[in-house]
Chains A and B, each alone.
Chain A
Amino acid sequence: MVFAVQRFPKPEFETGYLQPGTLLPSPRAEILAAMDVAILVLALSVISWIVLKKRSRKGVFWMSLFSLIYFGFYREGCVCSIGSIQNITLALFDHTFILPLTVIAFFIIPLIFTLFFGRTFCAGVCPFGALQDLVAFRPQKLGSRLNAVLGMVPYIYLGLAILYAATGTDFIICRYDPFVGIFRFNASFGMFVFAGILLISGIFIARPYCRFLCPYGVLLNWVSRFSRRHITITPAECIQCRLCEDSCPYDAIDIPVTTKDPENRKIRVKKLIWISLLIPFLTFAGGWTGSRLHITLAGVNSKVRLAEEILTPAAGQGQPESLGLTAYKSSGKAAEEVYSEASEILDRFYNGGWILGGFIGLVFGWVIAERMLSKWHTDYIPNKGACYSCARCVDFCPVKTDLSEIKHEKT
């Protein structure tokens, strides 16, 4: 609000009214920041207990409601683990950037819990997930094709977010965060529409942001695959009743694989070898493609834009001068300095384009290769990477170990 007021020019009073000084929001008190971290740890502990010990969907629901209120509306979605990726990246590439301990904690702690207990953070602590889970009234299955296509978007988003943070260009996760504007009641028009689309589509496509955009979800997905104790659908032996088969709105249940791939074994092995060889090629091809795009990618950078505006003044003819150019003109800064900075940033984007493209190419190759491997299992099990540990499937399983639960069912 302070900034909004500042943008508005001061009216010219002739009444002796004294313009009050600019107010700057004070940073959150250290004790309160520590409290946020403590609540995060507590919330993760409670949700992990609810998911793994109590196996209670109801408990997950109430926990996520608490997180929505505390981390969402009270803390206004900041610090959030999703955005912390950028702070961590920038701190790694820019030693002058001071990284608060709270941000490190919000980045690391959910990953540690995920390593032990699966994505319980997504289940009941992340306010974004909680908000979307709240509106998932009529979730529908998406099908293989759409899942395959949309499932690749978070990797690209993650790569771009890291590239832009590493080059000190922008925090795009925060800039295009659809839900923070809702938590703060100050969404821009575009973000309001974006959030509306996500929430309305979220009625039918459960957690669209988490599944098809969330860059932090990519990291959680990787870590969760190695989780020691992950939620199971059945607490004991699966009786193959198939009741849970369609229970997951996120398509995160792996059905038993007992049949062999109908394709000839020789062909499959050949394909796998081919794909394995393809991975380095895809990585290189991706890198090359990314490097071709580096000028376009760097166009977002304010310093590059400024240099371009100074260098080609004719290009902007007929358009009002940008605020950046106006500020530069009054700065007394030498143009050569701007060019030099912009050139350096372009170099970084060139290298970054290689890395980003290489990463995306590697992911595509890896995902394709992964889809060729057989995963023999006879039970219905949650896919450790994709499962949000929401415990919906638990309610569908007729197998109970808790006697009190059986007693309750009988009554």
Chain B
Amino acid sequence: MKKPDSPDPTIKLLRQIAFVSALFAVVLCILILVNWLQLHRADPLNSPAVKTMIDRLGSDPDNAQLREQVRTLDLLSRKAYFTSQWQIRTGGYLLLISVLIIAICLKTIEYFHKKLPDLPEIKNNTYWIDRKINRRWVGYTGGAVVLVTLVFAFLSHNELENMLGNAVSRGTDTISGKNASKNIPLSTSGKAGSVPDSLLTLATGDSISSDTLLDGYPTWTEIIRNFPSFRGPGGNGIVYQKNIPVSWNGKSGKNVIWKSGIPLPGYNSPVVWNNRVFLSGANETRREVYCFDAKTGKILWTARADKITGSPAKAPTVNKETGQAAPTMTTDGRRVYAIFANGDLIALDFHGNRIWAKNLGSPANHYGHSSSLMMFRDMLIVQYDQRGSANVMALAGKTGDVVWKTARNVKVSWSSPVVAFTGKKTELLLAAEPYVASYNAGNGKELWKMDCISGEVGPSVAYADGVVFSVNDYSKLAAIQIGETPKLLWENSEYLSDVPSPVASGKYLFLVTSYGTAVCYDAKTGEKYWEHEFDNTTYASPIMAEGKVYIMDKTGTMHIVKADRTFSLVVESPLGEGSVCTPAMVDGRIYIRGDKNLYCIGK
């Protein structure tokens, strides 16, 4: 092959150009790398100087000069950031051009300066030797791969698979309803709540000290083993435990394990976590939280909610039937939370030590604040529908800091939040005039709402199988089919409640009116199956457990009926003391707050 003539000076020149370009490319590379490092160090969002100035501005918010300085510095750091980005990009273009020049020069030199091929030395038998070497080294590589893989597998061996397996199997138990009654499809209940099943072992122990309590939040499995809030897990009125007592007599002591006096009055209901039962009580001058030993009924500790910053000096004037401690407490198994009529909110550990406390502002509420607390994951949910400023908020359980807060355009309400897993997400369901609303429990964003309730709303909603039920006296009973666009499935105004909340399974809705009439509806169609008058005022909300509905009237008599389409009274058990509180039920036991005493029913 004949090569075209090429003058040596051209090749020399090309070599020089290639060399200079290569030098330029190396310098560019270094500059780009330095710039990149600068870019990652000078993050305008985390500039220490700007942060310091913002902190200073926080303590001196009226300092206009400082405010201007913050803006100038912020602008400068942002400009520097984007300039660095521009420099890297421009450097990239220049680098490409210089590499192109090098390639063109070298290719041209190659073209003009082609060398004749060298004749390689003759190597005898190298083919077979090469093949042998090749084989051997493929074998070595395979061995190395296996070794590295096993080392990685050994080093990274962890319990993740077992932990996940356990978590899933526990969750499956819950969903498939191993702990549930036959008539109640647990899938309708929602898998609200959450997480670390790794903490489950602690939860099942007989005693939990605060030292051994890990932070985090309970799994659904843990939650349903307990009764952590008003109307149980998720506040939905359904109990998933077995062996719930049906027969007792408070006067004779039949099936009463213990009875313990409650120092201060309160209309809040007991909440239970393992071997602890929690209640609060208050009068105009004192606000207290009580922890009872679930085995003996002994008060283990009393914690006073006092000396809280912002707490009003004088207790608010409240209705006698509401009192100073109407909202039921809640617990996440790590801490226990209580709120009082004056807006004092307190978080305590399981030894009664205060973790944090704050005042949410004196509630503008003519009867007195009564909305119970609810927990979701590691957050405390507070429905604070007060006159002039209604909102729902989530506070970090650990610190009390506001995680999210959503304003609500509603009137004052006395109902409590319900947390329900509705198939794809966990929704927070609230009722207050004029609407029933759903919020994303994680971030407080409103998901949907429906105008279907009015008046002074006291009853909370019930949820089952994609349907939310709301009710209020002088308003209506409404069944809302939830979804992207919720629709009113059916409504009825024959029987209404102003205090007890309804409870629902996938098939039936049970409603108890304040004047003591229990009604059963078809949950999907609204067809009334039965009604029964118990003749006594009823304030406690009905609870559904093991295919039965527990309805306690104000005299303390528990009417237990079958959760079925035909009315069937199982038994009536008197407490021997009046009660307006909703009972708490866990495995084999019922805890009932009477007017003056806390009862533990069981065998």
Q: List 18 A-B contacts (CB under 8 A).
A: A8-B45, A135-B103, A144-B130, A144-B133, A148-B136, A246-B118, A286-B146, A290-B149, A292-B153, A293-B152, A295-B158, A331-B425, A334-B191, A336-B168, A336-B220, A342-B164, A364-B139, A371-B131
What sequence of 0s and 1s flags, for each residue 282-299 of chain A, a beta carbon within 8 Å of any chain B beta carbon?
100110011011011001
Size class of the contact patch on chain B: 35 or more
B160 touching A311, Cβ below 8 Å: yes
- Cβ of A314: which chain B residues have Cβ within 8 Å of it? 214, 216
User: Majority SS of interface residues in chain A?
Assistant: helix
Q: Is A49 an interface residue (CB 8 A)?
A: no
- Cβ of B135: which chain A residues have Cβ within 8 Å of it? 148, 368, 371-372
Instruction: Pick from A119-127, A168-176, A215-223, A237-245 the stretch touching chain B.
Output: A237-245
How many angstroms between the C-alpha atoms of A263 and B128 in the bound complex? 9
B158 touching A311, Cβ below 8 Å: no
B36 touching A262, Cβ below 8 Å: no
B149 touching A332, Cβ below 8 Å: no
Q: Is B427 an interface residue (CB 8 A)?
A: yes
- Cβ of B194: which chain A residues have Cβ within 8 Å of it? 310, 334-336
Known: A259-B128, A310-B194, A332-B441. A246 touches B120 (CB 8 A): yes
- Cβ of A189: which chain B residues have Cβ within 8 Å of it? 33, 36
Which A residue sits closest to B444, measured CB to CB? Answer: A330
A149 touching B196, Cβ below 8 Å: no
Q: Is B161 an interface residue (CB 8 A)?
A: yes
A299 touching B156, Cβ below 8 Å: yes
B139 touching A368, Cβ below 8 Å: yes
B220 touching A289, Cβ below 8 Å: no
Shortest beta-carbon distance, B270 to chain A, in Å? 27
Which residues on A are within 8 Å of B, measured CB to CB? 8-9, 11, 61, 134-135, 137, 144-145, 147-149, 151-152, 156, 182, 185, 187, 189, 192, 196, 199, 242-247, 255, 257, 259, 261-263, 282, 285-286, 289-290, 292-293, 295-296, 299, 304, 307-308, 310-314, 328-337, 339-340, 342-343, 346, 357, 360-361, 364, 367-368, 371-372, 395-396, 408-409, 411
How many angstroms between the C-alpha atoms of A304 and B2 in the bound complex? 64
- Cβ of B117: which chain A residues have Cβ within 8 Å of it? 243-244, 246-247, 396
Known: A332-B425, A332-B427. A295 touches B140 (CB 8 A): no
| Residues of chain B from 509 to 524 with CB closer than 8 A to chain A in the complex | none
A311 touching B142, Cβ below 8 Å: no
Shortest beta-carbon distance, A48 to chain B, in Å? 23
- Cβ of B131: which chain A residues have Cβ within 8 Å of it? 371-372
Which residue in A148, A185, A332 is a CB contact (below 8 Å) of B141? A148
Other than A149-B137, A330-B440, A336-B191, give 12 A-B pairs with Cβ distance below 8 A.
A152-B138, A152-B145, A189-B33, A199-B99, A245-B120, A247-B117, A311-B163, A311-B196, A329-B377, A336-B168, A364-B139, A368-B135
Which B residue sits closest to A271, measured CB to CB? Answer: B135
| Residues of chain B from 117 to 136 with CB closer than 8 A to chain A in the complex | 117-120, 122, 124-125, 127-128, 130-136
Shortest beta-carbon distance, A210 to chain B, in Å? 18
How many angstroms between the C-alpha atoms of A361 and B135 in the bound complex? 14
What sequence of 0s and 1s flags, for each residue 164-178 of chain B, a beta carbon within 8 Å of any chain A beta carbon?
110110010011000
Q: Is B92 an interface residue (CB 8 A)?
A: yes
- Cβ of A255: which chain B residues have Cβ within 8 Å of it? 127
B125 touching A334, Cβ below 8 Å: no
A296 touching B152, Cβ below 8 Å: yes
Shortest beta-carbon distance, B532 to chain A, in Å? 36
A330 touching B196, Cβ below 8 Å: no
- Cβ of B132: which chain A residues have Cβ within 8 Å of it? 371
How many angstroms between the C-alpha atoms of A263 and B377 in the bound complex? 71
A149 touching B127, Cβ below 8 Å: no
B161 touching A147, Cβ below 8 Å: no
Shortest beta-carbon distance, A215 to chain B, in Å? 16
Shortest beta-carbon distance, A411 to chain B, in Å? 7
Interface centre among A9, A261, A262, A335 (most CB of B within 10 A): A335
